[in-house]
Structure 1
């Protein structure tokens, strides 16, 4: 075969290798482009950014199409090269063709275009998006057919594939991005806040509520002067009102609303009935997540709810401030009662009240105490021991030495925690 006869084949090989390089660059750029930067480009009116985002929302179709086209171009170029080398060297040409084409495809159709594309991911992806989108549309039937055949083959082999599975998880990507950020003191709090926002859908209200034993409540049958005395002495502006027993909550009294009602009934305080001033109680199940409750507070324009269990028994209260504190930490004002729940001894030992939540301890000290089965440190000890521990008992949980310092009746009031690193040297 003369050089003139080989020239068309060589031109075609160069063309298909170049086409393969373009598809490789497209694959890398379209998958590596930052979604946040693409949204910024879209807001600036950059054409193509919206197309890239829409294709990224269906990654299976996008990647399937590019792989199909890339494989097709590589197969055609390899076949043409095999024909040339077999014409020149006979049967040994297959070995020569495989060797030469492997080097050419790896360097010029894979490595080189991918290096370029990953360096200019956003600009490349925006530039190629219009014609890649057309190719995805034109080959959608083929990619769908190949995907079905592949899934059927996996099914025959006994491999189960989730049909709704996605290639990426936005929440996981966010968590990884947050964790990869530098952990200096300036951003430690911001990282904790971002993680807390992502955790809102995994935490239930019963984990952060004020337990019924610590809730200030007023009996509706008390005389008005006693009710006023309790309202004035309480730091809270909203207090649940019960009748006969604490599980029979008939409403919630607002301090301002009570004062207005008293002012309007100044001439007939003897007949004043607090039941007429109460607002209807807002009950929620203890299995409500913080995210769901935050949305409910916004929709109802309320920030005070009563938590009940599956039997309708009153368990505690949760407020909008409680949920916000899960994100930003403690929020205090001049009326808050100071109730420190965590103390650090100079020797490194940690003391905490039994009601201190495990989430607060983990967030404060960057610990990994388990919080799946209990919300407070006292609850964790009770769960692990399957009984109510006595004062002086010590438990090892996740390499933390946790001791009961004080127990009042059936309530664990003070706990000592020795961190894992400190306990090994104790």
Structure 2
């Protein structure tokens, strides 16, 4: 059978063109992977070893004319397990400030105000451990376990805070969440105070806070769920004490991160460069944030809505 040379030349050219497209596609995949953080690439590698496709890896098409394949259930890890492994692998990139209880929300006993005050604070507090300070949060005396004090009260014994005070772990605010977890594991009290460079208390972090950063909030470990409430128009009302990570976890809204702030309230303070007031608005990427309420000097509730919605209105 005699095949015209034109057909052979066309077949060769077509094969070369296909190979060129394959090489170009492989190059683009490698370039995309290089742009991902090292920990993200590590997480993706673990996902592949465990038999599931990473979220950063595009789904394969069933045919040349299919533009995008619908996501299909993957064997191996469940979605919750997938998220948990990612949280563990990225824990070293998160600051301890992103998971701690901020200073205004810390509950503590003032040792100068007598035993009646201590009794009231213990009854009001849902926590198993409470700080004892000497008139000010920065004048720390130590940590007491609520059960020890309540046991003394129920037994009718005289309540002496000094007899039950224990020394807490102190961490600088530059500590990562992973470092905090390692330090707390080695300490007899699963609680640490986070201080700034001047020794002033910035927040408090517990083992439960760090576990929640990995697995999500644990039942009955904290009262606040950041009050993320989706509105009918697609906007959200959120607790401004939520960190950027918690906000994204609860709502799917990924706001711009900056070392200058950790929480939504901190975002307002950073952008406004003054104490926020009710009605203040800031633009963060594609989202407009508005102050709905204040708690002392920080933002209590915030309204988060798409910026284009506001512009259209």
TM-score, structure 1 as length reference? 0.53
Equivalents in 2 of 1:215, 1:249: separation in Å? 13
What is the deviation of 1:273? 2.5
1:344 maps onto 2:235 in alignment: no
TM-score, structure 2 as length reference? 0.71
Q: Is this contact kept in 2: 1:253–1:277, CA < 8 A?
A: yes
Q: Is this contact kept in 1: 2:240–2:265, CA < 8 A?
A: yes
Equivalents in 1 of 2:132, 2:202: separation in Å? 15
| 2:266 equivalent among 376, 379, 386 | 379
Specify the SS of the correspondent of 2:291: strand
1:415 maps onto 2:284 in alignment: no
Residue 148 of structure 2 is matched in structure 1 by 257
Q: Is this contact kept in 1: 2:43–2:85, CA < 8 A?
A: no
User: CA deviation digits over 1:183-222, x for unaligned, max 9?
Assistant: 8699443333222112210111122211121111112233
1:322 maps onto 2:213 in alignment: no
What is the deviation of 1:396? 2.4
Show structure 2 runs of 5+ residues with no match.
1-18, 20-36, 48-53, 60-70
What is the deviation of 1:423? 6.0
Change (3 A) 1:291 1:339: closer
Q: Is this contact kept in 1: 2:192–2:205, CA < 8 A?
A: yes
Specify the SS of the correspondent of 2:138: strand
| 1:294 equivalent among 140, 156, 181 | 181
Q: Is this contact kept in 2: 1:348–1:422, CA < 8 A?
A: no
Residue 310 of structure 1 is matched in structure 2 by 197
Specify the SS of the correspondent of 1:223: helix
What is the deviation of 1:226? 3.5
Change (3 A) 1:394 1:212: closer
More helix by share: 1
RMSD: 3.1
Equivalents in 2 of 1:183, 1:374: separation in Å? 38
Change (3 A) 1:274 1:405: closer
Q: Is this contact kept in 2: 1:343–1:350, CA < 8 A?
A: yes
Show structure 1 runs of 5+ residues with no match.
1-110, 112-167
Tell me how many residue pairs correspond in the alignment: 256
What is the deviation of 1:305? 0.9
